Chain A
Amino acid sequence: MPILGQDYEPYRGPIRRRTFAALPIAGVAIRRNLRWWTWALLVLGLIAGSAAAYFVVFLVYGVAVLFPGSRGGANPMLLAIVDRPAFYLDMLMYNQVFWALALGTVVGAGEIAEDVRSGALVFYLGRPVTRADYVLGKVVAVSTAVLAVTLVPALVLFTIHALFVGTWDWVGAHWRIVPAATGLAALECVFVSTLVLGVSALVKRRRWATVAVAGVYFSLFIAAAIFAPSRDWQGGREQWKLNQQIEEAKTKEEADALYDRYNDSYDPLGSLSKHAGLRFLSPTASFHAAGRDLFGIRLPGNFSHGRHWMFLLGSSALLLWVLWLRVRAVEVVT
């Protein structure tokens, strides 16, 4: 007799032979992060924090349009900054890599560690779910968070930008920004999710995973800063002079060339450093270099070409391998 008199009823409904198990697994992971209100506030706070930078840019663009330069029209300095692919790359890089990593860590650091501790790994893999389904589900969950602070605001900004300009010519001239931003965001998704989940698979607690991810990231960042200092600071006077020259430039080409020089003075790839070749050790610098490739912006001559891709894709592959080894429903004791 069943425990409380309720008899067993056979199931007579449909059963799908092929299911895409990664999606329910991703859904569970995302909902788990939003279920506790403190955690949900943290996630939403990080998304809002990342959006703040875009909001400031939106204001800057508004100022450029509303307060014309000395020779009429929009302020050329500000337009020179925002009206070019490098601006989107800078937005995706300087502002968003930090947010992507922070949010990815908050969302993903505990995912596998928590699943191993609670036995959820056995729960999932004891069903018709493969290890690939499980890992993909977790990657989708982390990537959703990463995209929320990288691609989504970039596309929103592009749309607003296009509306501000108000011509199809501008869209036609700048459409490559969309696939380039998508590619860079995808690269960030792969790197952040494999880093966060790979570390999560090696520890047993969310908090340790969070500390370990931050430790790995900042260790690489500091190593790059020590071995390949990013720049010799240019005098403020030179930058001010370049600023003036951009305002007075007669042609767009001239303004672009001046802007390239202006940008180089802040170059995180260490184009002014003797050891730029080691900058790939910093994930931020490697992303910046990969972003330049995707956006079609020249790399500094003394920066080692290809190492940044090797670093980003190689470390992601290595972490995927770690995940593959650790994600098992069987604890092997020999």
Chain B
Amino acid sequence: MDSVVSLRGVRRTFGRVVALDRVDLDIPTGAVGLLGPNGAGKSTLLKILLGLLRPTDGDASVLGIDPVKDPTEARRRVGYMPEVDAYVTGRTGVELVALAGVLCGLPRAAAMQRAHSVLNYVGLEEVRYRKVEEYSTGMRQRVRLAQALVHDPALLFLDEPTNGLDPSGRDEILEVIRDLATKHGKHVVLCSHLLRDVEYTCARVVVLVAGRVVRQGTLDEVRSGRRDLYRVGFRGPAEAFAAALAAEGCSVNAGEGALQVGVPPGAGADPVLRAAVASGTDLRSVVPDAMSLEDAFVAAVDGAG
């Protein structure tokens, strides 16, 4: 599989704080979610890929370009939507996006034409002549996306694109991102701590915790990453059954009419059966359980901790 981003042993420290710890990663084509809790190193990773930060150690490449050696070329090829507000005061939406186009190398007239086109696409055509500082949070998010798209890059780095949006605003932005990835062949690296955003837009996920990649793969692979998880239906006293499961070394999460039981790796369903016998519980069902992305994420974070 072709990769758009490649990292080999990338490490970045800020004083004593290790933001990225020898990351080896290949981000394939298509839409990929970069998941992680706050402080996991997601934004640091993006800034290294954009050449805004130098790695303390290791090598990185973006679309075959080394962002340390040629940071401007890397940024020319990539569309970057930053996490924070990024606008020039006193400029209207269309002027701002056109300026982004000019800075990316578009001729002035073409940049203005293109600015109108992408602002239409992100749904800002009605307000494009208003100053950006007068925009609502949702409009500012969209204008940031428009800036990232103005030079029609093959690869988009979107850092927390739905931050601060209401549910409908979030759905609209996610819809645009999915449209770009699925219909228009854009490669997207979506950096987020919101699992639903990643689940909705991305085919693959990379989970970053404390500066390390702890899990990666397709959504299905990540969800089913733990094959030692069972959903157990039963009849009888739950407390006694849970205690017996714990004695077998299993983890237990209570669900509605069922328990989600994590068994020791490689043990299969045997510990569940032994616990049922020991506690005198009638089993109704023992089904391998696919995790939600949230479960997988929590498991990954817990595992990393």
Contact = CB atoms under 8 A, between A and B. Distances in A.
Bound pair (A, B): yes
Interface of A: 1-4, 6-11, 13-19, 21, 24, 28, 31-32, 35-36, 114-115, 118-120, 122-130, 328-330, 332-334
Nearest to B43: A330
B47 interface: yes
Contacts of A129: 72, 75, 103
A169 to B, nearest CB: 47
B184 interface: yes
Contacts of A123: 82, 86-88, 96, 100, 147
Given A3-B172, A128-B105, A333-B14, A28 B91 contact: yes
Contacts of A2: 121-123, 175-176, 179
Contacts, number: 140
Interface in B117-151: 117-118, 120-123, 125, 133, 142, 147, 149-151
B52 A115 contact: no
Nearest to B14: A334
A3 B47 contact: no
Interface in B38-52: 47, 50, 52
B76 A13 contact: no
Interface residues of B, number: 55
Contacts of B14: 332-334
Contacts of B96: 123
B152 to A, nearest CB: 4
22 contacts: A3-B142, A3-B176, A8-B179, A10-B184, A13-B114, A14-B110, A15-B76, A17-B105, A19-B105, A28-B88, A32-B91, A115-B88, A119-B82, A122-B84, A123-B82, A123-B96, A126-B50, A126-B80, A128-B76, A329-B47, A330-B47, A330-B53
Contact of A130 (B72, B122, B125, B180): B72
Nearest to B78: A126
Contacts of B172: 3
B103 A19 contact: yes
A125 B149 CA distance: 16
Contacts of A18: 105
Contact of B152 (A3, A10, A16, A118): A10
Contacts of B175: 1-3
Contact of B151 (A1, A15, A120, A125): A15
Contacts of B84: 119, 122
B73 A128 contact: yes
Interface string B175-192: 110011001100000000
Given A123-B147, A125-B52, A6 B89 contact: no
Contact of B86 (A13, A16, A24, A122): A122
Contact of A124 (B17, B103, B118, B123): B103
Given A9-B117, A19-B104, 4 more contacts: A3-B122, A11-B151, A15-B105, A120-B86
Contacts of B71: 130
B68 interface: no
Interface in B53-107: 53, 71-73, 75-76, 80, 82, 84-91, 96, 99-100, 102-107
Contacts of B47: 329-330
Contact of A128 (B72, B149, B176): B72
